[in-house]
Structure 1
Amino acid sequence: MSVRFRLGGRRAGEVVRAVTDVRLRLFPGQVLALVGESGCGKSVLASCLLGLLPDNAQVRGEARVGGREGEVELLSASERVLSRHVRGRRIGLVPQSASTHLTPVRTARSQLVETVRHLRGRGRDGEVDELARRVGLAPQDLDHYPHELSGGMAQRVAVASALVGDPPVVVADEPTTGLDRPLVERTVDLLAELADRDRGVLLITHDLGAARRVATHVAVMYASRLVETGPAAEVFERPWHPYTVGLLNALPEAGFEPIPGRPPALTELDVLERKWGCVFCQRCPDVPGVSPCDGNPELVTHGDRAVAAHPPC
C-alpha cells in the first residue's frame, strides 16, 4: 500500500509521501504493533484501511480483510461497501482520543445504543450492559456524559463501540494518547484480551513500552516506510535496524538516549532516496552489532523477520 497527498495553495505541486510500499499481514490471535515517531504515516495507514482519507489522497496497492462472508478489497471498495459491510462489521476502530470522539451532549449509553441499532438492527439496554461488562465497565457508568468519564473509562466505551459488530479486526489508533501509565497498561491489556478471543488487533502507537507489553508481532515505520518487522520478542531483544535500536535506547529504562537529528519532511523523500537510498542514513549512528547500510530502502525477508537497508549480522 502507498498513499500520497498532492498539496495545493502556496505548496501546489508538492507531494507528501505518507505511506510507501507498506506490506503487512495480520492473523487472528495476533497483536501487531505498528510503531514509530509521530508523523511517519502510521495513522494515515489506518485511515486508508477504513476509507477515511481526504479527497487529495492518491492510493496505490491493495488491502484485503477476511470474514465470515469472504474477502473484501478495501482500497477499491465503494463508500457503500465500506459503510455497510466494513466499518464496524469487519474492522472496528478504537480512535486516538476517545473522549473527543464521543458526542459531548449525549450519554455514553445513548451512543452505544445507537451503534448497536445501526450494526445489529436493534438496541436493547441488556445488550449494551453486556458490552460494558465485557470491557470492564459497570452498566451504570454508561449513564454519564463523556466529560464525566475518566480517560480510561472513555477509552473503554470506545472499545465497546468497536466490538458491537463483532469484527474480526480491531484497529487501535494511538489508543493510549494522554493516559497515565496505569491506564495505558489497562487499555493495551484490554486489546490483548481481544486477540485472545481470536481477533486480529492492529495497535498503532509511538509508545514502545505499551507495544512491548502486549504485542505478538511488531512493524517499525520510519518516514513512510517499514524498516523492520518480525515477532515482537525477537525484534525488541535483538533489533536489526539502527532506527529500532534508537527507539529502544530512547526508553526510560535505557537512559533516554535520543536519536540524533530529526525525521525528514515527507515532501523530501524522493530527493533523499535518490541521494542516500536509505533515508535514515543522515541520522544513523554507528551501532555495535548492526550491519552497515547497503542503501536499499526495500524490506528484505529473512525467515519470519524482515529488515530494510541493514542485513542481519
Structure 2
Amino acid sequence: MKNYILQNENAVYFECGYSCDNVIYISIGDDNYFITDARYEIEAKLMAQNCEVIITNNLIKQTQEILQKSKIKKINFDPNDFSVYLYEKLTSNLNIQFRQKENFSKLKRLVKTDAEIDKISAAMKLGRKGFKRFADFLRTDGINKSEKYLFFKAKEYMSNYGELDLSFDPIVAINENSAKPHALPTAKLMKKNDFLLVDAGVKYERYCSDRTCCTSISKNMSFSRGQKFKTKLEQKIYDIVLKAQLTAISKVRSGMKASQVDKLARDVIEKSGYGKYFIHSTGHGVGLDIHEYPNINSRSDVILEDNMVFTVEPGIYLNNKFGVRIEDTVVLKQGKAVIL
C-alpha cells in the first residue's frame, strides 16, 4: 500500500524497527518520515531504519507541513489508530482525503516471516520457563496465598524478575473464578486440591507469547498437559477441552478457512454436551500485538497459509464452579500446525 499514516506503536515498529509513545509515521511513495519529539531523538536516529527522523515540539503541525509539500490527494489511515481529536486536528485545512483502511497494518503482518516466527518461538520458550518458575513457587509457597498475591508473583516469575516484558497482565484464577475467561484477581486464598487456571505470556524483542494452563494444587503439581484432578467433573471437563484442542491442532491445514479450525474444536465440545459453555472464539493471531490476525472464530473466512501464527484455546466455563481453557500458540509449517 502506498501513502499511509500510522500512530500505533507496533505498526510503526513493524515499518522501521523502532517506535515510542509519541510518534506519527508517514509513508509517501518511497519516502518515509518518523516524526517525534526531542525525548526520543537519540534512540530514534540510532534505531529507526529506512526513514527520515524529524524532531519537533508540534507533531500535528509538522505532519501537516509534510503532507502539504507532498502534493498527494489521498492518504490511507487506520481509524483504530487515531483519536477523534487527533484526526480532526490533522485533517483540518488540508486538501487531502484521509481514506479509512481498518487494520491495514495487522493485515500486512498476517503472514509472518521466518525471522518473526523465530522471535515468537523464543518468546514461547521463555514463557514456558516462566510457567515452570511459577509452578515451583506454587508448590512450595502458594498455599494460603491470595489470588492478588499470586497474580503479583506470576508477573515476577513470568518476567524473570523484570528481565522480560509481559505480553499482558497474567490471569490467575482459583476454582469458581476460573469460570470467568478474563478473571481479575481477588482476595480468595488458594488451598490444597484447588483448581487453578493461569493464562500468561512474555515478549522477546517485542514479539508476544501466549499460553493457558490448568492444574490441581498439590505437592506434585505442574503445568503439563497431562493433569489429574480431585473431582470427576473437573477431570471430565479438562479431558473434553484437551481433546478439543488437540483435535483442532492435529487437523488444521493450510488452505482451510479459519472458521473450520473453530468448528473442529467446537464440534468436540458440542458433542460432549457442553457447547453452550464454550463462550469465546477458538483463537487469535499472535505477533507484535497479543491479538492479531487471523481470528479463529466461526465467522472468519480467512484462508490459512503457512507462516501464520495463532492460538488454539477452546474452553468450557461452568458458572460458580470452575472453568477450563487450554491454550497453545501454533505456526503453520508445510501445511500443518506446529506448537511453538
Q: TM-score, length-normalised on structure 1?
A: 0.26
Using CA pairs under 8 Å that are at least 6 residues apart, name the structure with larger relative contact order, 1 or 2.
1
Q: Which has the larger radius of gyration?
A: 2
